[in-house]
Amino acid sequence: MSERENGAWNRGRPLSKAWAGAVNRLLGATDTTRSHGDTGPDGSAVVDCGVYVAGRRIPGEFTPDRAFDEVRRRDDAFVWLGLHQPSEREMTDIARTYGLHELTVEDAVKAQQRPKLEQFGDVHFLVLRTARYVPHQELTESSQVVETGQMMIFIGDRFVITVRHGDASGMSPVRADLEQQRAALLEQGPWAVAYAVTDRVVDHYLEVAEQVEADLDLIEEGVFSRDRSAPIQQVYQLKRELVEFRRAVVPLQRPLAGIIASQGVVPKEIRRYFRDVQDHLTRTVEQVSSYDDLLNSILQARLAQVTVDQNNDMRKIAAWAGIATAWTAAAGVYGMNFEYMPETHWRYGYPGLMALLAVVTVVLYRAFRRNGWL
């Protein structure tokens, strides 16, 4: 579920958007339900729990408690615990086992945080906002283009806990890639997992940016085409979606800079990987900024077009009103019912007046037409 459908995001949104959010919640897209495949075998929030020794996952199935007991008996071992939309009770139990701060527990359950990096004792708490592109046949004034969620990562000396809210940026491919192809990276410990998760989230940013660009091209083509098929509501809706995407991307720059600048906490080799993620993030930020500027220009151009169209309509109305004035004036004069009116007793008075008014109408029409009013 998009985070803007929570709480304060609903305030001030169009009714159709809020109604779409309500439908999504009824269909199970809220953070109080979990999609199939994102829950543990017993329906809990635990998606996966593995113990890694020297970069290799040891066989066996572990509960969070047993996994932490196992790594404390081994050297060079850590736990990777994956959660999906945990309840407050589940998160509190895990926090008790792993020594997590109560403030981070609240953040992990509510999932309404900006990207940030905080340290509570020996545990670092990294918050990311995930994003994915929502396919649609055509962009309307109520289309959802970008869906956002949240990813929280607890990084300790002997564990890493990933807490995901929403359907974007699933962790199964990340875990499979690290276990099957990048065991050497896993040897670096919990920060290697934090890098892999962050890298996947930022890679999704790049994908979303490319697909939003395609929507932007369609909007631009529609605004500047002859039939001007893109109404201003579509332009404004895409801008709102881009604002949401921007809120996910831009604030992440500071946490990444803090990780790269850290000395003695993040392994030097992992900091090098995070620099690569930062480069990708910078590219996305630049793309989003350019899209925002282009949308502002398109919106201003569309508003100018609307203004010009309205002026043209007003000129046409004024021109036809001017033509009708001659007929109104004649009707007003001869409707006074005075006895001595000019030409009232002339046999050709009526056709003569009609002919005069027709000539005046033609002259006025041609004059207005020549000046571009009709």
pLDDT tens across 128-185, in order?
A: 999 999 888 877 777 888 999 999 999 999 999 999 998 877 788 898 999 888 888 9
Residue 193 has a CB neighbour count (10 Å cut-off) of: 27
Taking domain 3-305, whether its CATH number is 3.40.630.30 is answered by: no
Contact 358, 320 (CB under 8 A): no
Residue whose pair of structure tokens reads 């050709």 in the numeric block: 348
The Cα 184–Cα 322 span in angstroms is: 84
> What is the helix (H) or strand (E) element at residue 317, kind and residue range?
helix 268-334
Which tokens go with 44? 């809990």
Pair 127, 137: CB distance under 8 Å: no
**Quick one: pLDDT at residue 22?**
36
- pTM of the complete model: 0.72
The residues near 7 (Cβ < 8 Å, ≥ 6 apart) are: 112
- Cα separation, 333 vs 331, in Å, equals 6
Q: Whole-angstrom Cα distance, residue 374 to residue 353?
A: 25
Checking phi first, is residue 223 left (phi over 0); if not, alpha (psi -120 to 50) or beta? alpha
Q: What is the pLDDT of residue 11?
A: 34
| pLDDT for 18 | 37
| DSSP letters for 148-185 | EEEEEEEE-SSEEEEEEESSSS-SHHHHHHHHHH-HHH
Q: Is 144 helix (H, G, I), strand (E, B) or coil?
A: coil
**Residue 197 pLDDT:** 95
Q: Check: CATH 1.20.120 for 311-370? A: no
> Which regions of the chain carry the CATH code 3.30.460.20?
3-305
Q: Which amino acid is at 209?
A: A
Q: Are 259 and 266 in contact (CB under 8 A)?
A: yes
Stretch(es) of the chain classified as CATH 1.20.58? 311-370
Low-confidence stretches of the chain (pLDDT < 70) are 1-43, 225-230, 338-345
